[in-house]
Structures are given as structure tokens and as C-alpha cells.
Amino acid sequence: MIGFTRAHTYFKQMNTELLGLSVDSNSSHLAWMYDIYCRTGIKISFPIIADRNGEIARKYGMIANEISNTQTVRNVFIIDDKGIIRVILVYPMNVGRFIPEILRTVRALQMVDCNGGATAANWMPNQPMIVPIPNTYEELEGRVESIEKNRNGINWYLSFEQPKQECIENDTNNTDS
């Protein structure tokens, strides 16, 4: 909760909302939040849903019934503005989430949605995107010429280009505001 609160500004800049879900009661959440504030001065900055009977957690596969009826695993769901789950990250109870990777993943999804194509392994913001593969032989020939001229790929099926300017501007506007 503390890690996400510290990064909440970055998520907001990417037009992303945070929402917590816990099988604990609302009273427990209030107690956690107050204790965290008293000990650290940090106010949890996003809502936490009290899912006392675990109905929501079970629907999302967050409770391993063979281990426990109430102990959840640490999941992160990235859900787009259309309500589609785009990414599910599952962490065991004893491993903390890596917030920079979650931020990078949100940014990569936004860049892919805006730009088309894909991101390569270890892609970071401001790096080139993988260009979608050609659909016709004529496009393939054009891709080969582009790679020979610009040295921006390995072969017709794997080439790179900088994201479209409007995607970069949207990304900059989201991260600098």
C-alpha cells in the first residue's frame, strides 16, 4: 500500500487509477491506514474495497482455495478504460511487487495502443517500437528497402521505428502534467 501510494502521482500522470481489494473488513482497512499514517506520515491515496466474503477475489482468481480460504496472493491487474484485463501479475505472499515494472507496463500498453506495433523485451519509454509485420509482398519489399537504408531492423519481420509523434506528445503530456 505504501509503495503504490508513493507512486500514485506517476500513475495519475499516466491517466491511471489505483484501486485496492482486500478480504479484510473496512474497519481493518481503516486501522491499517491509520497505523501507516501514524508510523510513516503517509496517507493511503486510493480506495480499498472490503471483499469480506472473498467473492470478488475468487472471481479474479486471487484466492488459492487449496492453500487457504481467505489468504490471497498478491495480484496486480491492469484493466483498460474499456474494462478489459490487459495484464495480470501474480506475486506470492512473501514477494513484494515491483512498482517500476508496473509503471513501465502501463506505459508500454499505452504506447502500443497509440502507436500500433509492439515493444521489445526490456523496452523502456522513449525507445523504438517494433513495427507490425507487412501484410503484402509489396509492403515486405518496402520494409527491406527501409531497413537497408535506415539500419533499423534485422529483417522484414523485425524492424523498429520511433513512436508516432502524437504518441510521444501524449506520453509527455501525461508524465509532465
The string of pLDDT tens digits covering residues 3-48 is 999 999 999 999 999 999 998 999 999 999 999 999 999 999 999 9
74 and 135 share one domain: no
pLDDT at residue 102, rounded to an integer: 97
pLDDT at residue 67, rounded to an integer: 56
Q: Are 108 and 123 in contact (CB under 8 A)?
A: yes
Is residue 78 classed as helix, strand or coil in its secondary structure?
A: strand
Worst-scoring range by mean pLDDT, 34-38, 61-65, 105-109?
A: 61-65
Q: For residue 97, name the pLDDT band (cuts at 50, 70, 90).
A: very high
Torsion of Cα atoms, 104 then 110 then 111 then 112, to 10° = 110
Percent of the chain beyond pLDDT 70? 89
Residue 154 has pLDDT above 60, yes or no: yes
28 and 110 share one domain: no
pLDDT at residue 126, rounded to an integer: 87
Per-residue pLDDT of 135-145, as tens digits, reads 999 999 999 99
7 and 79 share one domain: yes
The gap between the terminal CA atoms of the chain, to the nearest Å, is 24
Worst-scoring range by mean pLDDT, 49-63, 75-89, 136-150?
A: 49-63
Which residues make Cβ contacts (< 8 Å) with residue 159, sequence separation at least 6? 130, 131, 143, 146, 147, 152, 153
Residue finishing a domain among 77, 97, 117: 97
Q: What is the CATH number of the domain that holds 110?
A: 3.30.1020.10
Distance separating alpha carbons of residues 72 and 59, to the nearest angstrom: 12
The overall average pLDDT reported for the chain is 89
pLDDT at residue 171, rounded to an integer: 64
pLDDT at residue 175, rounded to an integer: 44
The number of domains in the chain is 2
16 and 91 share one domain: yes
pLDDT at residue 157, rounded to an integer: 95
**More confidently predicted of 86 and 171:** 86
Once rounded to an integer, what is the mean pLDDT over residues 97-122?
A: 94
CA geometry: angle at 60 spanning 55 and 63, to 5°? 70
Residue finishing a domain among 97, 122, 154: 97
Q: What is the CATH number of the domain that holds 58?
A: 3.40.30.10
58 and 113 share one domain: no
Per-residue pLDDT of 155-177, as tens digits, reads 999 999 998 888 877 665 554 33
